[in-house]
Amino acid sequence: MSVSQIRGGMGNITNFGRIVAKRVKEGLYAGRNIGYGNNVSEDGGNKTRRHWKPNSHRKRLYSEVLDRLVSVNVTAHALRCIDKAGGLDAYLLNTRPKDLMSNKAMEIRREIAAAITTGAGPGHVVGMPPRAVQRAAAMAEKAAAAKGGQS
């Protein structure tokens, strides 16, 4: 009997090396997980168990390589990490899978890697987003027209 049969055909389950909440596996949480601890009263020091959930929001982030918006749950910390890395594509490609801890992030990462290696259509330069190629071509045409007009 295989593992998938034992688990009831749950499909692709990735082991990230530690216990990770289900919601964390379905978004960009940048290492944030549900935290647990105690509320401690000021008077008697009584302890009440509580938890802290990550500050997550549903956002649409732009991928330059895929040339489209990607809808994903993302934490405020992950947004700062994405800005620091230089965009969604750079963040997903340069972060270790163990640190991403997300099946959704790995799925988007595979799409980006496939788009970079195969190209995204006619006239596409590998590793360069289609809109950037179009902008570069338009600027080259303008420069050639301006140069031709000055002669």
Where do the domains of the chain lie, and which CATH numbers do they carry?
A: 3-139 (2.30.170.40)
What pLDDT sits at residue 117?
84
Q: State how far the Cα of 62 lies from the Cα of 55, in Å rounded to an integer.
A: 20
What pLDDT sits at residue 145?
86
Span 88-146, pLDDT tens digits? 999 999 998 888 888 899 999 999 999 888 865 555 555 555 666 677 788 888 888 88
Please state the length of the chain: 151
Q: Is the C-alpha dihedral spanning 63, 65, 68, 70 positive or negative?
A: negative
- CA-CA-CA-CA torsion for 143, 145, 149, 151, nearest 10 degrees? 60
In terms of Cβ atoms closer than 10 Å to its own Cβ (0-12, 13-18, 19+), residue 107 is middle
- CA-CA-CA-CA torsion for 138, 144, 148, 151, nearest 10 degrees? 130
Span 25-50, pLDDT tens digits? 788 888 888 889 999 999 999 999 99
What pLDDT sits at residue 136?
77
Q: What is the mean pLDDT of residues 51-61?
A: 93
Q: What is the mean pLDDT of residues 16-33?
A: 76
Q: State how far the Cα of 38 lies from the Cα of 20, in Å rounded to an integer.
A: 20
Residue 119 CB neighbour total at 10 angstroms:
14
Q: State how far the Cα of 148 lies from the Cα of 150, in Å rounded to an integer.
A: 6
Numbers of helices and strands, H then E, in the chain: 7, 5
In terms of Cβ atoms closer than 10 Å to its own Cβ (0-12, 13-18, 19+), residue 74 is buried
Q: What is the mean pLDDT of residues 66-82?
A: 93
Flag the least confident range among 46-55, 66-75, 110-119.
110-119
Flag the least confident range among 9-13, 31-35, 52-56, 117-121.
9-13
